[in-house]
Chains A and B, each alone.
Chain A
Amino acid sequence: MKRVPGSSGAQGGLYAAPSIFWLSVFFLAPLAIIVAYSFLTPGARGGVEWTPTLDAYRAIANPTFAKVTLNTILVAIGATAITLLIAVPCGYYMARSERQTLLLMLIMIPFWTNFLIRIYAWIAILGNEGFLNDILLATGLAKQSVRFLYNRGAVMLVLVYTYLPYAILPLYSTIDKFDFSLLEAARDLGASKLGAINKVLLPNIKGGILTAFLFTFIPIFGAYAVPLLVGGTESYMLGNLIADELTKSRDWPLASAISLVITLVTTIGVLLLLRANGNAVLGGSGDGEPAVSEPAAAIGGSR
């Protein structure tokens, strides 16, 4: 950071101008509008009236919102955890494979098809009359069709499917930079296979795990289309609530207030994670790891 030569102040400002412009126009200004709207009175039929009130925040204190928030948190944490559990071995395998380009292509190919069409494909596979049920019925494994869709499990499954590539890619690029001879060294020094992975690999790729976590948790927390299409009567998430308040109930301040809560929760979460990442292992479920992670980090020089 300090290596920038010359009069860093003026030049730095010049370099930063485009991104500052971009961020203020497309991020800060909309955010300011959301904040402002959340403190106003809903207009008669959508929009807002310029009378300040805290009604929107009072409405959020309602137990109905707590229930949706809880459901959203459960789905988001569950889906993110499953995604990471699948993504870490995938990234590891890709990094060690000799056909990296091919595997990368395979990860990317789903992006060629529209996201909604891929959700409809899941409906065609898992539906009451879907392919899977056809097979189950034809082979006699089931007497009548099994209801896979329209519940929380289906929402999580499709969310994991959707965001898996976003988790695999950063993990792959981090693991790819990992010096695998360190694993051999750990084994030579008597670590078990699992121990070597836990104490040497994971601490060194925690940056990738963090990125993967953020790339999956944040969009899942605001998911809208997936619970709408494969969710059931009980799969309402905060994203759906915002859309309904905005378009159906036309309570824009309430929608703004809910959006703001989401933004705050994610921001606080991210800040906590980033701070934790400074000196402790991210995603290490145990408590004993921090002590080991430091030397490991020193060797690997993780980000």
Chain B
Amino acid sequence: MKKNLFMAAFAATMCLVLSACGGAAEKLYLFNWIYYIPDDVIEDFTKETGIKVIVDSYASNEEMYNKIVAGGGGYDIVVPSGDYVSIMIAEGLLEPIDKTKVPNFGNLDPAAIARIGFDAGNTHSVPFMMGAAGVSVNKTKVSGYDRSWSIFDRSDLQGRMTMLDDMREVLGAALKTLGYSVNDPDPAHLEQARQVVERWKPNLVKFDAEAFAKSFAAGEFWVVQGYAENVFIEYPEEKRGDVDFFFPKEGTPMYMDSFCVLKGSKNAEQAYKFIDYMLRPDIAARVSDYLMLPSPNVPARALMKVTPNYQFSDLDRGEFKEDLGQETLKLYNDIWRRIRVGN
């Protein structure tokens, strides 16, 4: 998941301002994705428990990871995506999770948990939200399309389509188009995937993970690959009906962001209280309403007031992005560089 960097900087400043006031005895340091948990949810946690939460935000897993590895922060909780959960477990950066301290863990959808490969059995992570990048189509401009990745083959939409500037998402889409796994390590399959992306590339305006949502909202781009929460945060609500957001039928790379307790956390007890609070049905429903995303929290689904931008069942053909390992990652990097640079 990748969020807008400029907003991140702004929100980070706001967090500093907000954290300057108040003064409870118990504290909790949370390092979270930008715009992931609404402020009032965190304020209510402080009201209920008296634990003051100091929030810092990041816009990408890499940013979070680099800061933690560099020894920065002193945070208690981080919210990495699946591939980074396994990386951080391997690097010994995470504390094992004591599930007896998270009684609400049982609220999570067993079907969703069963698909987790990055931390099978959830020894070090507690799932928070899951989703995937899909394709958004401006229906007032584009018609007669198949809900498939092949929409990027349409040369009549040349100059009106973007894909994410994200190797895993774009290569993942190509791999799924070919019927392979989004974590496929086979060089021959990756070469085929590269050719698929090269076929799409002339029809794309650009690879963009920062500004595409604004331009999509302005009618500038008509077909964009992106996360629903990023696309719709920019989109005027009254024109929401003009947009068809779908997950291509071939399947998509999926993310799962999970709460993890960092090794050496000084406030582990408070961290467990916070994680359990976030898994409470009413709280999970508020978060999902805010993000307009379906909840992996089963009892929360009935409590939601907003219709999410897609349903959980839509993710049936999705596949979690797993850590590729050094050798395969290098292969992906090389192929992506060739695509980006143009041979």
Interface residues in chain A, defined as those with a beta carbon under 8 Å from any beta carbon in chain B: 44-47, 63-65, 67-68, 116, 120, 123-124, 127-130, 147, 149-150, 228-229, 231-236, 241, 244, 247-251
Contact = CB atoms under 8 A, between A and B. Distances in A.
The 5 closest A-B pairs by CB, nearest first: A249-B333, A64-B341, A129-B219, A150-B205, A127-B220
Contacts of A234: 342
Nearest to B166: A248
A249 B91 CA distance: 18
Interface of B: 6, 60, 62-63, 65-66, 69, 87, 91, 159-160, 167, 201-202, 204-207, 210-211, 214-215, 218-221, 326, 333, 336-338, 340-343
Nearest to B337: A64
Contact of A46 (B65, B204, B220): B65
A223 to B, nearest CB: 16
Contacts of A249: 333, 336-337
Contact of B206 (A45, A46, A127, A150): A150
Contacts of B210: 228-229
Nearest to A44: B326
Given A128-B219, A234-B342, 14 more contacts: A46-B62, A46-B65, A46-B66, A65-B341, A116-B6, A123-B215, A128-B221, A147-B159, A149-B205, A231-B206, A232-B205, A233-B201, A233-B205, A235-B206
A67 B219 contact: no
22 contacts: A46-B62, A46-B65, A47-B66, A64-B337, A64-B338, A67-B342, A67-B343, A123-B220, A124-B218, A127-B220, A128-B159, A128-B221, A129-B218, A130-B220, A147-B159, A150-B205, A150-B206, A229-B210, A231-B206, A233-B342, A249-B333, A250-B62
- Which DSSP category, helix, strand, loop or mixed, fits chain B's interface? helix
B159 A64 contact: no
Contacts of A120: 211, 214
B218 A45 contact: no
B341 A236 contact: yes
B211 A229 contact: yes
Contacts of B342: 67, 233-234, 236
Contacts of B69: 45-47
Contacts of B221: 128
Contacts of A130: 220
